[in-house]
Amino acid sequence: MGKEDALPFAILDSDTIGDKFAKDLKAGLYSGDKDRVLNVGAFISVPNAEIEDLFPPSFLAKIVDRYLPKPIDVDEDFTSVVKDGEAIVPQIEAYAHKHNIDLVLGWKVDVAKRAKAALLKGKDDSSITKSYLEAWQMLFGAVNPAVSD
């Protein structure tokens, strides 16, 4: 990237860490391009939203249930306890902690890859409602105005 090139869009979580990072970017490197720093919370109404919250909890919960190595004595599936309207990552972490399941480094990337594969196959996409499609359209429209036309 040259000095004259536009900075890439930064799409950040709307949790405490993401908000601080956005503020720091806007005060520093992105001071002349503040509109290129976007928070997930601008597109989805989940408190402390993270990138993962751009997908329905029920969709990701099915993937998480297949991904996590659930101990043999655990009967509770994540799909049965996941809550709409709450950030999903803390829910996954709480579920794993409750059942003594280790979340390996990079687990979010693994879940994201599985979510992508499921979407591309058209698997489990019945939970992708109009509100999520609209959120995606708003996000893509923010980074490429031609998309929102």
Q: What is the pLDDT of residues 93-141, one digit of tens each?
A: 999 999 999 999 999 999 999 999 988 888 666 778 889 999 999 999 9
Q: Tokens 């902690």 identify what position?
A: 97
Q: Is residue 84 part of a domain?
A: yes
Q: Which of 103, 84, 106, 104 is nearest to 95 (CA)?
A: 103
Q: Tokens 């390996």 identify what position?
A: 104
Q: Report the domain count for the chain.
A: 2
Give the Cα separation of 88 and 18 in Å (integer). 16
Tens-digit pLDDT profile for residues 6-62: 899 999 999 999 999 999 999 999 999 999 999 999 999 999 999 999 999 999 999
Q: Which of 142, 118, 137 is nearest to 54 (CA)?
A: 137
One domain, residues 62 and 120: yes
- Residues spanned by the domain of 96: 52-126
Q: Is residue 132 part of a domain?
A: no
Q: Is residue 142 part of a domain?
A: no
C-alpha angle 131-85-113 in degrees, rounded to nearest 5: 70
Query: How confident is the model at residue 6, as a pLDDT?
Result: 86
One domain, residues 80 and 36: no
